[in-house]
Structure 1
């Protein structure tokens, strides 16, 4: 494995863990998020550069600057391969297949498209906008258990003759408790989403790292057979 790629995988894993800890408090560092996205994206182009060097050694004309091929549709992918890594299928069909299998039309998963799209946006336009979707779980002994709720009102409730706390949860997940018996347990959970997308940040980053690790292992195995 290219040692630079290995370093990036190790570093991004550590950065994702730090970002995960931050997300538990309902916020994340957008600059750190940008760096993680860019570092994961760089791994793809490092692979392309390594492959292009091998193709040049076989007297294949390759552009000075190459990019890792990723496309939604198969015909677009083939054009991208021909442009960036020409004749790869003929020279090393197994390696071509590894790259092809990572594409949405084969993998039935858009992770590679989403990663590159989010990275380009963060790199060229603005830091990734995120949205904190907070949910609240309210428990009062063995009597009341409401999970993931908003707009909750618990008022003037009794259990075994004892008045339970009054609990009010607004639409933003903010909690207000008027104590009577001090029996209320409130658990807050945070889901940090990419703004305008149904993609949760931390699970997405973990998924990309896992997919990238597997892709790297497969590319490395076939690259050795050039």
Structure 2
């Protein structure tokens, strides 16, 4: 079993994600650290596949491949073919674990995080470091509450706004970023925010990594329990 190695990978990934999160606040991310984190998260999947492989070998008469990868697929037929290549017999001999793995797939969960993780890792490993882009925004607080997040190039005109019955300042933001505040309550605060995405994708880096870590942590805990009873 590789559970100890899996936990070490998860612990290291958690520390790296915290570091990347800190970097992102300044609008930059170390691309090598990002590559390593993606690869470590992907390794958790493949180590888990090896744990399933070990158990299957004791249950299945047919030959199980010596080198296996975690099965995934955007569509159900892709997923089933991946299972057949890597862990044949999984659905017949360990149906509860098959259901767990299937539940992670985008056609079941309606969340593409697993396919995105594998695709981004493959790109970084075989092609080039993952390119990122910083999408700056501003958050307008009034009356102590965040009311509006404004992206670059947006035009904003806020007049007559009330928070808890209190009339707030008028705020005007031009597409070039020029900001004017007409004082009324004096309770306006505008903060700048950096949201770093994978280039060309609607995937914000830090929330994505955090979601992958959370999903994987739960999966490997559940998997360990199921393997003990399989």
Mapped pair 1:219 → 2:227: no
* Larger displacement relative to structure 2 (124-133 or 82-91): 82-91
Deviation per CA, 1:84-114, whole angstroms, max 9, x where unpaired?
1011111111111111111111111100000
Aligned residues: 205
Alpha-carbon spacing, 1:120–1:148, altered in 2? closer, same or farther (3 Å): same
Query: How many angstroms does 1:224 deviate by?
Result: 1.0
Mapped pair 1:190 → 2:194: yes
Runs ≥4 residues deviating over 4 A = 137-142, 149-153, 167-171, 183-186
The partner residue of 1:107 within 109, 123, 129 is 109
Within 2, Cα distance between the matches of 1:116 and 1:99? 15
Query: How many angstroms does 1:60 deviate by?
Result: 3.5
Within 1, Cα distance between the matches of 2:217 and 2:137? 32
Deviation per CA, 1:114-150, whole angstroms, max 9, x where unpaired?
00000000111000000001123578999xx985254
The partner residue of 1:202 within 193, 206, 216 is 206
Summarize the alignment of residues 1-226 of structure 1 with structure 2, pairs less than 5 Å apart: 2-58=3-59, 59-137=61-139, 148=150, 150=152, 171=176, 187-226=191-230
Deviation per CA, 1:48-107, whole angstroms, max 9, x where unpaired?
111112222334411121110000111221111111101111111111111111111111
Counterpart position of 2:166: none
Within 2, Cα distance between the matches of 1:151 and 1:220? 49
> What TM-score does the superposition give when structure 2 sets the normalisation length?
0.79
Asked whether the equivalents of residues 151 and 168 of structure 1 are also in contact (C-alpha less than 8 Å), the reply is: no
The structure that has the greater radius of gyration is 1
Asked whether the equivalents of residues 25 and 193 of structure 2 are also in contact (C-alpha less than 8 Å), the reply is: yes
Asked whether the equivalents of residues 42 and 117 of structure 2 are also in contact (C-alpha less than 8 Å), the reply is: yes
Q: Report the aligned-residue RMSD.
A: 2.8
Runs of 5+ consecutive residues of structure 1 not aligned to the other structure = 154-166, 178-182
Asked whether the equivalents of residues 138 and 192 of structure 2 are also in contact (C-alpha less than 8 Å), the reply is: yes
